Amino acid sequence: MTSSDLGIRADPGSFRDPANRVFHAAGQVLRGLDPQAARHWAALADSTFFTGLLAEGKVCGTEQVEPAVLPGWAAVLRHERIPFVSHPYEWSFGMLRDAALLHLEILRRALPAGFTTKDGSAYNLQWRGASPVFIDVGSFTPLVDGEPWAGYRQFCQTLLYPLLLQAHLGLDFQPWLRSRVDGIEPDQMRRLFRGVRRLLPGVPTHVHLHGAMQQRHARASSVDVRAQLRSAGYSRELALATVRGLEKLVHRLDRREKPSHWVDYQRTCSYSAQDRAEKEHFVETAVQAAGTPCLVLDLGANDGRYARIAAGHAAAVVAVEQDPAVADALYGALRAEGDRRILPLVMDLADPSPGGGWGGVERAGFATRAHADVVLALAVVHHLAIGRNVPLGQVVDQLLGFLRPGGRLVVEFVHPDDPMARRLLANKPDGLFPEYRRDVFERLLAAHCRVERQRELPSGTRTLYQVVAGG
């Protein structure tokens, strides 16, 4: 009997380390270990540093189970299920920085205990709300004195370099990470950091020296490089000093602010206090009607006002915001509150994350991951239909496509005579959007779902709908 016959599915993003692989089966997240990885796990499970990380929630919950559940593996682990899997190019600057700091903290605590990590990738981390968690338990391996950290290059390319781009140059890192699953190469960074930029914090050592060392050892084997480092006196103490230096550097990096009128949107938008109160009540009633939804998507979340309302009744909320500065401000607020239910993500709904990596499925696209019990689409339809020229019918199709069968969509239609819609239309040729009308929108909804409730806001220029998919 094959694994597929048993309902076991290999995770398409877990294949690069043949010693262990992640599988999904009946809602469980399992990891198969080969004989050597099983021995490493046994030593790791007995270590006080690892049990401490588990107790603090900094490493995902993990327990060993009977190997029979994954035939062919020496040992099997079962991990906690992360509410929503996201990718580093969907994170804000503060999120990427905190993920980097957690990665470094784990390594700093592992080294004195005789362990290191084989990887340094940003993809080794996920989120419980606004709290990062390390998920690649198979990355831990016993430390060999005199050998460098094998994950240093990955750490630079997927964590440190994106942070340097944003902090020093004011460039949003998300497009750079999205374009290459392995991150930003040192050679690319060296071209960006020439002249006086060469002297910016972190650049001389981790960009130019790192790149030069890579070129120097390009023809040498890993065995030769490790032997050279051992003979040069590389030690565990030096490794710890490097990690502490990286931590100090990352702590100092801050997001270079770019003006964004969306940061203060709730104060400057055209909503009246009565409109806002009605809208909040409508949203809360809709989420309550879904029982206790496992996942709510808040599309166009802004400062998270409605995501917070949903989080009072849902297991997890993913708050999607296009503006990186706004998403970062939301993350900072949620992190300060200790929130573990709301995950803020940076994403343009007119250009959502596609599948990437090997075969285009190693990193699943947003549409593949986003299957929610409730979708909130408040004040986004007009931005997509008018601002981005997406046909209204396709906007409705996309929103409904994010729902699980029987899920609920809470959507706001901004009438053409609303001040915000008029502002968008003023920048378009006359007559370009003849189908952008309330009656057309309602007809599109009725063709695909059942409208349970609708409410025109007191302003008279916006209408809310609560619909059930497939109704």
Position 213 scores a pLDDT of: 72
Position 129 scores a pLDDT of: 97
Q: Are 313 and 293 in contact (CB under 8 A)?
A: yes
Q: How far apart are CA 12 and CA 14, in angstroms?
A: 6
DSSP per residue over 212-276, as a string? HHHHHTTTS-HHHHHHHHHHTT--HHHHHHHHHHHHHHHHH--PPP---GGGGHHHHSS--HHHH
Nearest to 151 by CA among 134, 135, 163, 139: 139
Give pLDDT tens digits for 73-116: 999 999 999 999 999 999 999 999 999 999 999 999 999 999 99
Q: How far apart are CA 363 and CA 12, in angstroms?
A: 8
Position 48 scores a pLDDT of: 97
Give pLDDT tens digits for 408-438: 999 999 999 999 999 999 988 888 888 999 9
Q: Which long-range contacts (CB under 8 A, 24 or more apart) does 197-202 make?
A: 197/168, 197/169, 200/164, 200/168, 201/168, 201/249, 201/252, 201/253, 202/160, 202/164, 202/249, 202/253
Q: How far apart are CA 39 and CA 33, in angstroms?
A: 9
How buried is residue 195: exposed, middle or buried, by Cβ count under 10 Å (0-12/13-18/19+)?
A: exposed
More confident residue, 216 or 11: 11
More confident residue, 218 or 420: 420
Give pLDDT tens digits for 33-79: 999 999 999 999 999 999 999 999 999 999 999 999 999 999 999 99
Q: Is the pLDDT of residue 470 over 70?
A: yes
Average pLDDT, the chain: 91
Position 1 scores a pLDDT of: 42
b/e map 335-351, b = 16+ CB within 10 Å: beeebbbbbbbbbebee
Position 404 scores a pLDDT of: 93
* Average of per-residue pLDDT across 199-212: 88
One-letter amino acid for residue 415 of the chain = H
What distance, in Å, lies between the first and last C-alpha atoms of the chain? 40
The fraction of the chain above a pLDDT of 70, given in percent, is 91
Give pLDDT tens digits for 255-293: 877 655 555 555 545 568 999 999 999 999 999 988 888
Whether the CA torsion 449, 382, 266, 418 is positive or negative: it is negative
Nearest to 298 by CA among 459, 135, 423, 409: 409
* Average of per-residue pLDDT across 456-471: 91
Position 147 scores a pLDDT of: 85
Nearest to 448 by CA among 367, 382, 394: 394
Position 222 scores a pLDDT of: 56
* Average of per-residue pLDDT across 168-172: 96
Position 217 scores a pLDDT of: 54
One-letter amino acid for residue 445 of the chain = L
Residue 239 CB contacts under 8 Å (≥ 6 apart), including other chains: 111, 116, 148, 149
Q: pLDDT tier at 469 (50, 70, 90 boundaries)?
A: confident
Q: Is the pLDDT of residue 2 over 80?
A: no
pTM: 0.93
